[in-house]
Amino acid sequence: MARKTRIEFPGTFYHVLARGNNKQVIFKDDQDYNVYIIRLKRYHERYKFILYAYILMPNHIHLLIETGVAPLSKIMQGIQQSYTYYYHKKYESVGHLFQGRYKAIICQRDTYLLELVRYIHLNPVRAAIVASPEDYLWSSHQVYLGYSRQPFVKKDLIFKMFSEDESVAEKKYWQFIMDGIDKGHQNALYNVIDQRYLGNPEFVERVKQKMKSQDQTEDQNREQNIHDMQYLLLIKKKTLPEILKIVTETTGVYPEGILGNSREQLISRARSLFVLVAARQAGISNKSLAEFLGRDTSSISNMIRRIEEKINRDQVLANYLDKVIKVLKV
């Protein structure tokens, strides 16, 4: 059976579940738990998602995430792969640590946010590992109670749903968690028809329509990419001397200037343009560019990064780029 399409667009609220392969233990000691938490912090800083809650159980994890610009797949790939690398290196193991794809349920935020936070934080109680959730160390519940300081967990967003007064909110939150202990497994937190969604029928339909619109946009982009690739294949036939000649004719900067070390603005702009076009349009490797310009590969990478950041702010450079690409495509 084909796997269902992963639903991903900015501002999506997910309940994520990842299990150890064949239910194997993925956290063997305190260091393992702490390393995974460090990974959460690292990728939160990199991808700027909102982390409402997490729990690390011996053989599985739960995360409650709202994405920003970066898709969930990129976030989870970074966290899971880096932790897997650490685990295999430490225990001298090989193979899959996690069981297939993680499970990601797209949820109706306003309706289910509090219930999901409670569901996640009560996992070790339901598993009979501890009698009370505050006794379990590897959970964002410790952050909510003030026992652990982890700014990447956005407890304030949850507390404000109880009260604007933090001390009052903390007490109400605590009571809310304790009230859930006797509820047991919440089957209502899952859609039995399609476990990609958790929400009322109107919410699910809105998500499906958004997904349909996204698919149509991706199809259009794919067609454009195919069209662009036809030109790119022609561009890739150009050599570095040929590209250098086109850039010098376009900018008026002599080849010696581009190949030299002058920091004069016009020359520096032409050099950056040459590197950008060669790397991004003609597909020439950084190593080849480094050898051609008499530099190391790291300086070429930095040059490309800086010029890509600058291109939208430098209209002269943007105009030169358009002209060079037009000539390359002839």
CATH code assigned at 76: 3.30.70.1290
* Domain final position from 214, 240, 261: 214
Q: Which two tokens stand for residue 147?
A: 């026992």
Residue 30 maps to a domain? yes
16-20, 149-153, 304-308 — which is least confidently predicted?
304-308
Residue ranges making up the domain that contains 192 = 13-214
Residue 292 maps to a domain? yes
Query: Do 320 and 309 form a contact (C-beta atoms < 8 A)?
Result: no
| Residue 296 and residue 195 share a domain | no
| Residue 210 and residue 229 share a domain | no
Under 8 Å CB-to-CB from 174, ≥6 apart: which residues?
Answer: 145
Distance set, CA 37 to CA 3, 50, 61, 104 (Å) = 29, 15, 11, 19
User: pTM for this structure?
Assistant: 0.63
| Residue 247 and residue 120 share a domain | no
Under 8 Å CB-to-CB from 254, ≥6 apart: which residues?
Answer: 248
Give tens-digit pLDDT for 281-294: 778 888 889 899 88
pLDDT at 329 over 70: no
pLDDT at 3 over 80: no
**pLDDT mean over 69-80:** 91
Look-up: residue for tokens 């997490």?
54
Instruction: Give the dihedral of Cα atoms 246, 233, 297, 275; nearest 10 deg.
Output: 20
Treating both helix axes as pointing N-terminal to C-terminal, what angle do 240-251 and 315-329 enclose, rounded to 10 degrees?
A: 130
How many domains does one find in the chain? Answer: 2
Sign of torsion over alpha carbons 171, 174, 180, 186: positive
| Residue 158 and residue 244 share a domain | no
For residues 149 and 153, give the distance between their C-alpha atoms in angstroms, rounded to a whole number. Answer: 9
| Residue 233 and residue 113 share a domain | no
Distance set, CA 194 to CA 64, 146, 197, 204 (Å) = 19, 37, 6, 10
pLDDT value at position 321? 82
Residue 203 maps to a domain? yes
| Residue 172 and residue 239 share a domain | no
Give tens-digit pLDDT for 98-108: 988 889 888 88
pLDDT value at position 39? 95
* Domain final position from 214, 240, 259: 214
Pairing of strands 103-107, 197-198: parallel
Q: 54 has which bridge partners?
A: 63
Give tens-digit pLDDT for 268-283: 888 988 988 888 777 8
* Domain final position from 214, 240, 269: 214
CATH code assigned at 311: 1.10.1750.10
| Residue 204 and residue 61 share a domain | yes
Distance set, CA 271 to CA 266, 294, 307 (Å) = 9, 13, 10
pLDDT at 206 over 90: no
Residue 5 maps to a domain? no
pLDDT at 210 over 80: no
Please measure the distance between the N-terminal and C-terminal CA atoms of the chain and give it in whole angstroms.
Answer: 46
Dihedral class, residue 11 (left if φ above 0, else alpha if ψ from -120 to 50, else beta): left
pLDDT at 142 over 80: yes
